Structure 1
């Protein structure tokens, strides 16, 4: 009997050892896979790039596979989107994009080089973020109504810096001018960072872009945020009214960032990435990192992301048509 019990213990140990070796071999195979490229259509240091780097770190841990951020800046994300459309659908290439490249550019550029609803698979939404209107400290305004009164009293055009031409901020400036019957001109820059630098220097007296570009300078008193998009005020800026409160409706929803894959990527690969992204978004480290950027960590599946692309296209499509904008 003792001999029988000893034999059973040996057999159980061998089974356990075999399982451990199998797991180790699987982990080694997973780590031996080629890296996943996460395309970003903007330079390093911007808010899309920052989110991509936090996301890549988390996905790498969740997948046990290297995830590398690949910056391909230019044309507001269009160049990176074109590259994604031409990429092999083997699961090795993804892209983190904001709404501009997938919703606005296809409506403002004639030969965009991709169809966002045919050439890509929406993988997951990873954050939502508000647009913000900010002014130079010399401007005597704490909300949109006061900015309008200040601009009318000066009897000079109000120049508003924006991160890119034919962008949501560009058309928002047009809405502002039309709604309040003031002379306001959008001044386009190559990204939010140089625009904010000029705003702090007083070269433009107002600016409109993603809130994360303004927050560090708001804390330092170098700019003053006077309006944010979204259905309600931000918890971290409770004294700053929304655009709707300021008399400019149409900004009740916040913009978004989402991960896309080339069309034809196997469904099981997409599922694996969705599960990894969902686990990353739920971590305290990711949520804290995005909160420090002024962004809200949010997970939405492919249906959610596709819906956001369609909704932004429909909503801003009407704004673009009403503005009389002609595609390039």
Structure 2
């Protein structure tokens, strides 16, 4: 073969190599040079459960993505401030966000003016975990079961209230559902987070508290308060002695929260798939599953389609409840 014949073949080979390199770069997430850190946004303060999950994921995702993953806390507005940062970020895979279910399933119905459109501004990556909510009693009334609390609430409707970390989240509406079901107009008492709500519950300032189960577990085990019931469809392994709303005769008060990873709008399917596959591998790790379970979360790690279906199901579940309540957050 003459040199004249070999040149086109070399060019074809060179082009094939370039195309393969480009495809590999896209599959790895097209952000900068290999090894450049990726950011994992968290819309809640350091030290909380979401922060703990993010740091657990970041530690393991770096091995799958072959680059450091840095947790970047952007607390405020129930995760909505982090959405603003995500919206302003490059959509090349360099920035993703760990967000709560409220971003897609509740806030669209509680805020007249929302700073984002879930369908347009958030690219779903995958569900990280799901978790139940729980209702607890403190020092006053000193009830030990939900039945005892309901009986007390009916006898003392003016005192029947429930503390929540903030209005407009599932905690808030679970309380509304309970009050409607038992025929007692229970007043919601919002606090600035879980910690002060738990202090108020232990001190008898509120008659009950509703929060994610993991926030109440430690004080329950320590005897400072009593978790009366959980919102999951079945009892959870972390608190096997605690019944569900459904088994106590309140099937309407059933539901799980979830958290998930999101990328900015316009993120390619290849980059989204890279993050999803890395997340799936991390969630399968025994130490990750054990750590999540210890914190009160049930690992998921499903597909993009699973997350979209989960979001839609949650939105359909909460939209009529929120609209019937007449509640708006602004």
TM-score (structure 2 length as normaliser): 0.86
Structure 2, unaligned runs of 5 or more = 1-24
Contact 1:145 1:247 in 2 (8 A): no
Which of 162, 165, 184 is equivalent to 1:163?
165
SS at match of 1:311: helix
Contact 2:178 2:253 in 1 (8 A): no
SS at match of 2:179: helix
Corresponding residue for residue 4 of structure 1: none
Higher mean Cα deviation, 301-310 or 201-210? 201-210
Task: Please state how far the C-alpha of 1:198 moved relative to its aligned partner.
Answer: 2.1
Residue by residue over 1:57-83, the C-alpha shift from the partner in whole angstroms, topping out at 9 and shown as x without a partner, is 110122221111111111111111122
Task: Give me the whole-angstrom Cα distance separating, in 2, the residues matched to 1:143 and 1:83.
Answer: 44
Distance 1:245 1:137, change over 3 A: farther
Structure 1, unaligned runs of 5 or more = 1-25
Which of 124, 128, 148 is equivalent to 1:146?
148
Corresponding residue for residue 53 of structure 1: 55
Corresponding residue for residue 97 of structure 2: 95
SS at match of 1:202: coil
Task: Give me the whole-angstrom Cα distance separating, in 1, the residues matched to 2:328 and 2:163.
Answer: 21
Corresponding residue for residue 310 of structure 1: 312
1:205 matches 2:207: yes
SS at match of 1:299: coil
Task: Give me the whole-angstrom Cα distance separating, in 2, the residues matched to 1:108 and 1:224.
Answer: 30
Q: How does 1:233-248 map to 2 (within 5 A)?
A: 233-248=235-250
Corresponding residue for residue 323 of structure 1: 325
Corresponding residue for residue 110 of structure 2: 108
Distance 1:30 1:324, change over 3 A: closer
Task: Please state how far the C-alpha of 1:32 moved relative to its aligned partner.
Answer: 4.5
Distance 1:212 1:327, change over 3 A: closer
Contact 1:135 1:225 in 2 (8 A): yes
Task: Give me the whole-angstrom Cα distance separating, in 2, the residues matched to 1:186 and 1:77.
Answer: 21
Task: Give me the whole-angstrom Cα distance separating, in 1, the residues matched to 2:276 and 2:107.
Answer: 26
Task: Give me the whole-angstrom Cα distance separating, in 2, the residues matched to 1:96 and 1:111.
Answer: 22
Q: What is the aligned length?
A: 302
TM-score (structure 1 length as normaliser): 0.87
Task: Give me the whole-angstrom Cα distance separating, in 2, the residues matched to 1:271 and 1:41.
Answer: 23
Residue by residue over 1:91-127, the C-alpha shift from the partner in whole angstroms, topping out at 9 and shown as x without a partner, is 1110001111222112111221111111111101110
Higher mean Cα deviation, 230-239 or 243-252? 243-252
Contact 2:165 2:190 in 1 (8 A): yes
Corresponding residue for residue 179 of structure 1: 181
Contact 1:39 1:70 in 2 (8 A): yes
Corresponding residue for residue 78 of structure 1: 80
Distance 1:254 1:113, change over 3 A: same
Residue by residue over 1:279-316, the C-alpha shift from the partner in whole angstroms, topping out at 9 and shown as x without a partner, is 11011111111111111111111111111111111110
Task: Please state how far the C-alpha of 1:327 moved relative to its aligned partner.
Answer: 5.2
Corresponding residue for residue 301 of structure 2: 299
Higher mean Cα deviation, 103-112 or 195-204? 195-204
